[in-house]
Amino acid sequence: MTPAIDFQNLSLGYDRHPAVHQLKAEIGDGSLTAVVGPNGAGKSTLLKGVTGALAPLEGRVSIKGLSRDDIAYLPQQSEIDRSFPISVVDLVAMGLWREIGPFGWLGRKRQARIDDAIAAVGLTGFELRPIGSLSGGQMQRVLFARLLLQDARLVLLDEPFTAIDTRTMADLIGVVQGWHGEGRTVLAVLHDYETVRAHFPQTLMLARELVAHGPTEQVLTADNQFRARQMCEACTGPPHVCGRSAT
Amino acid sequence: MIWDTVFQPFAEFGFMRRALLGCIAISVGATPVGVFLMLRRMSLTGDAMACAILPGAAIGYLVAGLSLGAMTVGGLIAGMTVALLSGLVTRVTILREDASLAAFYLISLALGVLIVSTRGSNVDLMHVLFGTVLALDDAALTLLCSIASISVLIIALLFRLLVLECADPQFLRSVSGLSVMTHFTFLALVVLNLVAGFHALGTLMAVGIMILPAAAARFWTASISGLIVVAVAVAMLASMIGLLLSYHYSLPSGPAIILVAGIVYGMSIVFGSTGGIIAQVSPRRHFET
């Protein structure tokens, strides 16, 4: 499988303190990969590195044949202001930004696509609701509908199923599997190993450094989980400094 | 009776008509900016920026006296300098934006008052701080109307970007490189409208006509376009009633206008149909889904 993302000795971090250290891995084009690891393992940092929001401290991340416009990203903690007076349909419509930009016309065809995306996440009838009146699960469905409209070849999800009920989770996993079926590459940070085992064929286990990467059943072993915990606990001491000049 | 109270002052006196036109121009230009300031939770930033333009206007006054052009250019330069410097300090140091902006605007305010009071009279200081809405000349009116036109045009052009930047800035950054441009263009609009408001209402009152109508509108409508329409209407109404109160009861015009806007805000808190106190305690229909 040709790689969609190539992590080449990648170190990422904040204020020169690495959260991801010298990662070497390839994410296959069209793969459905879970990123797992203990808290503080650098999973969210890794996704920020892929989006380009965080510059590497060393090494590089290569996104083969994809531009920034081909990436859709769902962050762990959305900066969406829930008190903002905007309706579900208007927020979902933002997913068409790359097509319409700041001045483009929405038109009937695009309006139909918006309605389809809202229907695909089970929110038909909620179109005109202000986002402030939605539950956490409904809001997550709205964000998935927006992702659907982005029509991206690479989808990055940071803990997309946290704090939502099982039915919402099942529906949204269906959406993720739909992306996988269409040949899109999906990289999702997850905590629940049962969900990973059931729905994600590939897994990358991180504990600041790479613990294991490959088929999920070979990665999610008790031995790897123990190693990951140990590696993260070893990193809880005083932070060391990493940078381009570091060896 | 109604003619004598409401229309006669404007029909009879040119300075009242000029004052009303100036206030309408400020209402049209500044209140939509105020709506976005409020939605971005930057209402107090508007207050800080209003004080930040003072030393520039004061230096303009020092160089050219009570010159419209010099004070406008000075105010614009000072306002933008404070906006950019506080943004720079936020990005390169550990200080958050609120603290860096507060530091710069307090320095600016002190500097401005110092410059005006050491070289001018108390009358000049009052002019700078509280404006001269009843003494707007042709040049001032042209400036206010021009700024209002530019402001409305830019907001129309940037509307979608501004909405996205308010609602979900992270998403805008991920799909577009226009986030930084939008932020600084918006700050420039804030400064521009505060300079316009400064000529009529003074540095201390200019932000009032920007924020109070927007805050009042929040209690009457849940859509952004609705907020802008209601806020502009409230600002115009407050301007007219404030000017009339000022005329009939010999009150200072700027504070009268802002106080009327404040009364509308207070009434909106109580009676507003969207989140007002009475609306919250009275039984409501659930959403139909």
Mean pLDDT confidence for B201-214: 89
Instruction: Quote the CA–CA distance of A112 and A101 in Å, as a whole number.
Output: 18
Mean pLDDT confidence for B155-168: 92
Instruction: Quote the CA–CA distance of B74 and A130 in Å, as a whole number.
Output: 43
**H helices, E strands: number in chain B:** 15, 0
Mean pLDDT confidence for A46-69: 87
* Residue scoring higher pLDDT (B214 or B128): B214
Minimal Cβ distance to A80: which of B168, B227, B287:
B168
Instruction: Quote the CA–CA distance of B132 and B19 in Å, as a whole number.
Output: 9
Tell if the CB–CB gap between B167 and A101 is shorter than 8 Å.
no
Q: Which two tokens stand for residue B232?
A: 């502009």
- Look at residue B83 and tell me whether its pLDDT is greater than 90: no
Q: What pLDDT does residue A238 have? A: 53
Non-local CB neighbours of B101 within 8 Å, separated by 6+ positions? B45, B48, B82, B86
Size of interface A-B (CB pairs under 8 A): 61
Which residue do the tokens 């200081």 mark? Answer: B125
Closest CA in chain B for residue A126:
B289
Instruction: Quote the CA–CA distance of A68 and B85 in Å, as a whole number.
Output: 30
Mean pLDDT confidence for B256-280: 94
Mean pLDDT confidence for B207-236: 94
Closest CA in chain B for residue A147:
B171
| Average pLDDT score, chain A | 88
Mean pLDDT confidence for A52-60: 89
Range name among A129-133, B227-231, B260-264 with the lowest pLDDT average: A129-133
Q: What pLDDT does residue A243 have? A: 43
Instruction: Quote the CA–CA distance of B135 and A191 in Å, as a whole number.
Output: 67
Range name among A7-21, B1-15, B83-97 with the lowest pLDDT average: B83-97
Range name among A68-77, A85-94, A153-162 with the lowest pLDDT average: A68-77
Judged by a CB distance cut-off of 8 A, whether residue B168 touches chain A is: yes
Tell if the CB–CB gap between B178 and A102 is shorter than 8 Å.
yes
Minimal Cβ distance to B289: which of A102, A125, A150:
A125
pTM attached to this predicted model: 0.83
Band (pLDDT 50/70/90 cuts) for residue B244 is very high
Chain A residues whose CB is inside 8 A of the B39 CB are: 81, 84-85
Judged by a CB distance cut-off of 8 A, whether residue B273 touches chain A is: no
Residue pair B75/B53 in contact by the 8 Å Cβ criterion: yes
Q: What pLDDT does residue B193 have? A: 92
Residue pair B227/B166 in contact by the 8 Å Cβ criterion: no
Pairing of strands A154-158, A17-28: unpaired
Q: Find which of A47, A50, A86, A135 to mutate to test the B interface (most B CBs within 10 Å of its CB).
A: A86
Instruction: Quote the CA–CA distance of B190 and B185 in Å, as a whole number.
Output: 9
Tell if the CB–CB gap between A86 and B163 is shorter than 8 Å.
yes
Q: Which two tokens stand for residue B95?
A: 């200080």
Q: What pLDDT does residue A244 have? A: 43
Residue pair A244/A18 in contact by the 8 Å Cβ criterion: no
The identity of residue A148, as a single letter, is: L
Chain B residues whose CB is inside 8 A of the A81 CB are: 39, 41, 166-168
Mean pLDDT confidence for A201-220: 94
Minimal Cβ distance to B170: which of A69, A78, A129:
A78
Q: Find which of A68, A94, A142 to mutate to test the B interface (most B CBs within 10 Å of its CB).
A: A94
Band (pLDDT 50/70/90 cuts) for residue A236 is low
Mean pLDDT confidence for B79-100: 82
Q: What pLDDT does residue B288 have? A: 53
Q: CA B275 → CA A72, B136, B268, distances in Å?
A: 35, 38, 9
Tell if the CB–CB gap between B168 and A71 is shorter than 8 Å.
no
Tell if the CB–CB gap between A102 and B171 is shorter than 8 Å.
no
Alpha helices in A2-106 (DSSP H): 43-51, 88-93, 97-100
Q: What pLDDT does residue A246 have? A: 38
The identity of residue B53, as a single letter, is: I
Q: What pLDDT does residue A164 have? A: 84
**Å between A228 CA and nearest CA of chain B:** 31
Residue pair A216/A202 in contact by the 8 Å Cβ criterion: yes
Tell if the CB–CB gap between A79 and B161 is shorter than 8 Å.
no
Non-local CB neighbours of B223 within 8 Å, separated by 6+ positions? A85
Mean pLDDT confidence for B223-243: 95
What is the phi-psi region of residue A174: left when phi exceeds 0, alpha when psi lies from -120 to 50, beta otherwise? alpha
**Å between B51 CA and nearest CA of chain A:** 28
- Look at residue B26 and tell me whether its pLDDT is greater than 90: yes
Q: Find which of B166, B174, B284 to mutate to test the A interface (most A CBs within 10 Å of its CB).
A: B174
- Look at residue B285 and tell me whether its pLDDT is greater than 70: no
Highest average pLDDT, of A17-21, A209-213, B274-278, comes from A209-213
**H helices, E strands: number in chain A:** 9, 9
Chain A residues whose CB is inside 8 A of the B175 CB are: 69, 97-98, 150
- Look at residue A104 and tell me whether its pLDDT is greater than 90: no
Mean pLDDT confidence for A79-91: 88
Residues belonging to chain A: 247
Q: What pLDDT does residue A235 have? A: 64
% residues pLDDT > 90 (chain A): 64
CA A10 distance to own-chain centroid: 18
Q: What pLDDT does residue B92 have? A: 78
**What are the residues of chain A with a beta carbon less than 8 Å away from any beta carbon of chain B?**
51, 53, 69, 71, 73, 75, 78-81, 84-86, 91, 94, 97-98, 101-103, 125-126, 129-130, 133, 146, 150
Tell if the CB–CB gap between B222 and A130 is shorter than 8 Å.
yes
Band (pLDDT 50/70/90 cuts) for residue A202 is very high
Instruction: Quote the CA–CA distance of B86 and B96 in Å, as a whole number.
Output: 9
Q: What pLDDT does residue B115 have? A: 82
Band (pLDDT 50/70/90 cuts) for residue A240 is low
Instruction: Quote the CA–CA distance of A27 and A3 in Å, as a whole number.
Output: 5
Say how many C-beta atoms besides its own lie within 10 A of residue B176's C-beta.
19
Tell if the CB–CB gap between B170 and A133 is shorter than 8 Å.
no
Range name among A173-187, B73-87, B249-263 with the lowest pLDDT average: B73-87
Q: What pLDDT does residue B286 have? A: 57
The torsion angles phi and psi of A225, rounded to 5 degrees, stand at -65, -40
The identity of residue B100, as a single letter, is: S
Instruction: Quote the CA–CA distance of A208 and A232 in Å, as a whole number.
Output: 7
Chain B residues whose CB is inside 8 A of the A103 CB are: 157, 160
Q: Which two tokens stand for residue B171?
A: 């998403």
* Residue scoring higher pLDDT (A203 or B44): A203
